[in-house]
A and B are shown apart, each in its own frame.
Chain A
Amino acid sequence: MGLVSRRGALALLAALPVSRLAKAETRPVRFGLTAVVVRENIDFFERWSVYLQRWTGRPVTFVQRRSYREIMELLETGELDFAWICGYPLVRHWAAGYLDLLAVPLFNGAPLYRSYVIVHERSPYHALADLEGKVFAYSDPDSNSGYLAPRMLMARQGLTPDRFFRLTLFTYSHAETVEAVAKHMADGGAVDSYVWEYLERNREGLTGRTRIIERSATFGFPPIVARRDGDPALAAAMRKALLRMPENEEGRRLLAALMLDGFAEADIDLFEDIAIMARDIAAISRI
């Protein structure tokens, strides 16, 4: 009886994932978005959702949160299946082992981007050093181009980021960092080069009021990640959907809207520079 009951219990245990899986198949694919893209373009994401649904066979819902951290937590808890995140949180969470690199976008032909330090177009500042005692806008404390990279730039110039500015603020959006600088709310700001270029083309007048005073070296472009313990078939379908985008009409249209050339498979080594920088800045901060 004891055995039977143990077997029964095991059977129950074995049945659990099956029922969970069966349930999971009806639930939409949840795709997290961070400020690495301009998220305000609702129309675009609806079209992209339709495209991805056609390739994965399941409805795709984009999930937005204010900060990177919230998206990372949702990924960690399994509430998201995929997410478009920044290289900085990627390298920080890589070691935890629950993330898989699904694809990395190709921007101007390469999976690379930079961080721009911008000031108001009419301002007298020409270098980071000119911004001492001013107000500086970061995008997100977990952003590479909007936080880590500029701090590294300063550190390399011998400036102490935490004491250098009078005041710093987070906009939690690269687009809004541009806006904050354009509106004089902040004297300077750090933005994702991809977002700045995107705004340059799509939002008349906003970037025109800003001026780039520093450009960082290139880093691995914010990648799309999947949960490692997710449905492998779904992950494969999603990867295929992304990688094949340049090969079909709708995919090309969507890529054009994103100002990207396509998606490529990527290795974690692409983000090595960010990992080093994260280590270095932590060391600097400890001093």
Chain B
Amino acid sequence: MKPRHPRYWSLSVKLPVTLAAVVMAVAVTIGLALLVQERQRIRSELEGKALLAASSVASNAAEPMMRSDYWALFKILEQTAAVSDRGATRLIVSGMVLDRDGRVMAHLDPEKNPIGLFFGGSEPDRGARVMDLLRARRPAVLWTRGEEFVEGAYPIMANDGLLGMAVLRLSTSEIRSRTLAATLTIFGIAVTLAAVGSAIGAFISGRMVRPLHWLAEAMGTVAKGEPMPAPRVRGHHHDEIGLLLKAFDAMARDLEEKRRLEKELATGEKLVALGRIAAGVAHEINNPLAGLLNSIDTIEKFPHDRSLFDRYLPLIKNGLHRIQSIVRSLLVELRVEGESGRATGECLDDVRDLIRAEIQDRPIRLTWSNALACDALLQCRRVQQAVMNLLKNAVDAVGDEGCIDFHAYADGEDVVIEIRDDGVGVPPENLSRLFDPFFTSKPAGTGLGLWMTYRLIQTMDGTIEVDSEPGRGSLFRIRIPRDIIEETGNDERIAAS
């Protein structure tokens, strides 16, 4: 798996990692400080050992030196070196005894440093340094850059007279090996602490993240409008997370209560709307019914008067037609039911001829612009119906003279249809009721046209908005999502709504 940016890491990973890193960093920092200290300590310890070895040789060497007992001096050096031997590692790697003039009296490597000759014949620099030490007559520790040894030099004295000097060379590999051992120890401790730290981090983050995780899930659930899940995290948290959970719980409860109220309210509104529709229907049907009943009564009273038939039958027919038209309008959804005919955006152009017929020869200018591409599929009948209704209204609004613009175009995922007129416009007080059923400003209107349009667009999950000003005209804008348009068979939804 491709490693992701830490920004995407889970908190349950981030926290242990951070804690482990911090612990590791602290352990390593302290470790390094200790290491430096330890190294210094080992160094000075080694210096002490070098001086001790040199002084031990020096104290034993005085007497053999005075006797020129080279072999005894060599033995002293050998024994001192042997004492320092611990297993395979040799601490004292070399050693020598020089006389006061700097001649080698004894050397642990006599092959390279023959006795009786001046020390440093092959290395004049070293010889000079050693001579300086000899003249100083003081114990000294000698470090040589780049060499893995330290030298302790100790003057050999007899009654305040200088006989010579003992120089013991100690290997510094001990510093390295002991530093390495210390490093390994420190590293081990650091890793262990880091592991413990990450374990603690994992535990803490587990405790922290679990409620947060639940919270995120619960929020998602609540946002979808489903009831809040039962808390899986026991409320024993009294920290910030506990407070957060409590706050969320309270909020979710409030939200649920609000939703319930809204539902109740919506049901009420629906009932009110239904009542209004029922009243409208009753009123609209009642009017022609009264005339119809009157006509029928009159015909019944004079059954032999044929003239009455001629007079009243057309009235009865008209009344029944009106009722039929009302009922048809109310059943607009049923009318389009079962129709899933989809066609390209061009199908809207059929409406143009129909509305031309409506305009007849009135001086009304119709501007028609259909920019919907051939591939934009529409539930044609529904859109045609809605457009037709709006255009009819526009024709009514402009009266005898005016302009009507039709403009259809695709806007991202939406299909937008705009119908503009420069007619009478809608007074602001009527705007809110514009799409209510049976609301009409026309004497012969049923008040169902815009309501029907609204319902049609709703069935396609679209929106309709109106922008109008009295005397300046109106703009109706339909916006239908393309994916809904392209969907098939959504009659069920229509029936359900």
Chains A and B are bound partners = yes
Interface residues of A, Cβ cutoff 8 Å to B: 135, 137, 166-167, 169-172, 176, 180, 183-187
Residues of the A chain whose Cβ atoms lie less than 8 Å from the Cβ of B71: 137, 169-172, 176, 180, 185
A180–B107 Cα gap in the complex (Å)?
Answer: 12
Q: Are A185 and B116 closer than 8 Å at their CB atoms?
A: no
Q: How far is the CA of A186 from the CA of B74 in the complex (A)?
A: 11
In the assembled complex, the CB of B423 is this many whole angstroms from the nearest CB of chain A, namely 127
Given contacts A183-B110, A184-B111, A185-B110, contact A167 B74 (CB under 8 A): no
Assess whether B116 is in contact with A166, with CB atoms less than 8 Å apart: yes
| Among A135, A137, A166, A167, residue most surrounded by chain B Cβ atoms (within 10 Å) | A167
A172 to B111, CA, bound (A): 22
Q: Which residues of the partner chain B approach A187 to less than 8 Å between Cβ atoms?
A: 114
On chain A, the residues within 8 Å of B106 by CB distance are 185
Known: A184-B109, A185-B70. 15 other contacts (CB 8 A): A166-B116, A167-B70, A169-B68, A169-B70, A170-B69, A176-B71, A180-B71, A180-B74, A184-B111, A185-B74, A185-B106, A185-B110, A185-B115, A186-B110, A187-B114
CB-defined A-B contacts under 8 Å, sample of 11: A135-B70, A135-B115, A137-B71, A167-B70, A167-B115, A169-B69, A169-B70, A180-B74, A183-B110, A185-B74, A187-B114
Q: Would you give the shortest CB distance from B33 to chain A, in whole angstroms? A: 46
Give the residues in chain A near B115, CB-CB below 8 Å: 135, 167, 169, 185
Shortest beta-carbon contacts, A-B, top 5: A184-B111, A167-B116, A169-B70, A185-B110, A171-B71
**Cβ of A185: which chain B residues have Cβ within 8 Å of it?**
70-71, 74, 106, 110, 115
Residues of A within 8 A of B114 (CB): 135, 187
Give every chain A residue within 8 A of B110 (Cβ-Cβ): 183-186
Nearest B residue to A184, CB-CB = B111
The CA-CA distance from A262 to B111 in the complex, in Å, is: 40
Closest residue of B by beta carbon distance from A168:
B70
Q: How many A-B residue pairs have CB under 8 A?
A: 35
Q: Which residues of chain A are within 8 angstroms of B116 by Cβ–Cβ distance? A: 135, 166-167
Q: What's the tally of chain B residues with a CB closer than 8 Å to chain A?
A: 13
CA distance A190 to B126 in the complex (A): 34
CB distance from A29 to the nearest CB of B (A): 31
Contact with A along B126-138 (1 / 0, CB 8 A): 0000000000000
Distance (whole angstroms) from the CB of A183 to the closest CB of chain B: 7
- Of chain B, the residue at the smallest CB distance from A169 is B70
CB distance from B485 to the nearest CB of A (A): 105
In whole Å, how far is B189's beta carbon from the nearest beta carbon of chain A?
Answer: 46
**Complex Cα distance A183/B116, Å?**
16
Residue of B nearest to A139 (CB): B71
For A180, list chain B residues within 8 Å (CB): 71, 74
How far is A166 from B68 in the complex, measured between Cα atoms in Å? 13
**What's the least CB distance linking A138 to chain B, in Å?**
10
Contacting residues, chain B, for A170 (C-beta < 8 A): 69, 71
Name the interface residues of B215-229: CB closer than 8 Å to any CB of A.
Answer: none
- Taken together as a complex, chains A and B put the C-alpha atoms of A169 and B110 apart, in Å, by 14
A170 to B75 alpha-carbon distance, docked (Å) = 12
Query: Please, how many angstroms separate the alpha-carbon atoms of A186 and B71 in the complex?
Result: 9
- Please give the distance in Å from B438's CB to the nearest CB on chain A: 128
Closest chain A residue to B112 by CB distance?
A184
Residue on A nearest B68 in the bound complex, by CB:
A169
Most B CB within 10 A of own CB, among A176, A180, A184: A184
Taking CB as reference atom, which chain A residue is nearest B107? A185
Q: How distant is the Cα of A137 from the Cα of B70 in the complex, in angstroms?
A: 10
Greatest chain A CB density within 10 A among B68, B69, B109, B115 is at: B115
Which A residues are in CB contact (< 8 Å) with B74? Answer: 180, 183, 185
A32 to B122, CA, bound (A): 46
Q: Which residues of chain A are near B69, meaning CB under 8 Å? A: 169-170
- Chain A nearest CB from B180 CB (Å) reads 33
CA separation between A176 and B69, bound complex, in Å? Answer: 13
Instruction: Tell me which residues from 86 to 130 in chain B have a Cβ below 8 Å from any Cβ of chain A.
Output: 106, 109-111, 114-117
CB distance from B249 to the nearest CB of A (A): 90
Instruction: Please encode chain B, from 279 to 296, with 1 for each CB lying within 8 Å of some chain A CB and 0 for all others.
Output: 000000000000000000
With a cutoff of 8 Å between Cβ atoms, the chain B residues found around residue A135 in the complex are 70, 114-116
A99 → chain B closest CB, angstroms: 28
Most A-side CB within 10 Å, residue of B71, B106, B114: B71
- What's the Cα separation between A117 and B481 when bound, in Å? 118
A135 to B73, CA, bound (A): 15
Residues in A with CB closer than 8 Å to B111 are 184
| Distance in angstroms between the alpha carbons of A187 and B115 in the assembled complex | 10
Bound CA–CA A183/B114 (angstroms): 11
Distance of A180 from chain B, by nearest CB (Å): 6
A184–B109 Cα distance when bound, in Å, is 8
How many Å from the CB of A165 to the closest CB on chain B? Answer: 9
Q: How far is the CA of A175 from the CA of B116 in the complex (A)?
A: 22
Q: In whole angstroms, how far apart are the Cα atoms of A171 and B114 in the complex?
A: 17
Which residues of the other chain, B, contact A137 by a CB distance below 8 angstroms? 71
Closest to A187 in B: B114
CB of A118 to closest CB in B, whole Å:
15
Report the minimum CB–CB distance from A107 to chain B (whole Å).
Answer: 26
Report how far A169 CA is from B116 CA in the complex, Å: 11
Name the CB-closest residue of B to A133. B116
CA distance A184 to B110 in the complex (A): 6
Closest Cβ–Cβ distance, residue A214 to chain B (whole Å): 21
Q: How far is the CA of A169 from the CA of B67 in the complex (A)?
A: 10
List B contacts of A184 (CB < 8 A): 109-111
Q: How far is the CA of A182 from the CA of B329 in the complex (A)?
A: 130
Q: What CA separation (Å) do A101 and B71 show in the bound complex? A: 32
- Bound complex: CA of A66 vs CA of B247, how far in Å? 100
CB distance from A39 to the nearest CB of B (A): 15
Identify the closest chain B residue to A167 (Cβ): B116
Closest to A166 in B: B116
Q: What distance in Å separates the Cβ of B23 from its nearest Cβ neighbour in chain A?
A: 56
In angstroms, Cα B110 to Cα A137, docked, is 13
For B70, list chain A residues within 8 Å (CB).
135, 167, 169, 185
Q: Which residues of B (422-466) have their CB < 8 Å from a CB of A? A: none
How far, in Å, is A166 (CB) from chain B's closest CB? 5
Report chain A residues within 8 Å CB of B117: 166
Question: How many Å lie between the Cα of A170 and that of B111 in the bound state?
Answer: 18
Q: How far is the CA of A187 from the CA of B114 in the complex (A)?
A: 9
Chain A residues within 8 Å of B109, by CB: 184
Contact with A along B251-285 (1 / 0, CB 8 A): 00000000000000000000000000000000000
